[in-house]
Amino acid sequence: MSESLLAPFLEFGFMRRALVGCLVLSVSAPPVGVFLMLRRMSLMSEAMSHAILPGVATGFIVAGLSLPAMTFGGLAAGLVVALLAAAVTRTTMVREDASLAAFYLIALAGGVLLISLRGSQLDLLHILFGNVLALDDGALVLLGGIATVTLVVMAAIFRPLVMECVDPLFLRTVSRAGGPVHFAFLGLVVMNLVGGFQALGTLLAVGLMLLPAVTARFWASDLTGLIPASILAAVVASLSGLALAYHLDLPAGPAIVLAAGGLYVLSLLIGPRGGLAHRLIRRRHLEA
39-79 pLDDT, tens digit each: 877 777 777 777 788 888 888 778 776 778 888 888 888 88
CA 259 vs CA 57, 73, 268: distances in Å: 29, 30, 14
What pLDDT is recorded for position 12? 87
Q: Using CA atoms, how far apart are residues 88 and 27, in angstroms rounded to an integer?
A: 32
Say if residue 91's pLDDT is above 90: no
Identify which of 216, 208, 206, 276 has the alpha carbon closest to the alpha carbon of residue 47: 206
Would you call 65 helix, strand, or coil by DSSP?
A: coil
What pLDDT is recorded for position 229? 95
CATH architecture assigned to 7-207:
Orthogonal Bundle (1.10)
CA 151 vs CA 1, 76, 251: distances in Å: 34, 21, 30
Q: What is the mean pLDDT of the chain?
A: 83
pLDDT tens sequence across 152-203: 999 999 988 888 887 777 777 777 777 788 888 888 988 898 888 877 877 7
Would you call 250 helix, strand, or coil by DSSP?
A: coil
Domain ranges in the chain? 7-207
Q: Using CA atoms, how far apart are residues 38 and 275, in angstroms rounded to an integer?
A: 18
Q: Using CA atoms, how far apart are residues 32 and 45, in angstroms rounded to an integer?
A: 10
pLDDT tens sequence across 202-226: 778 888 899 999 999 999 988 889 9
Mean pLDDT, residues 82-89? 79
Would you call 211 helix, strand, or coil by DSSP?
A: helix
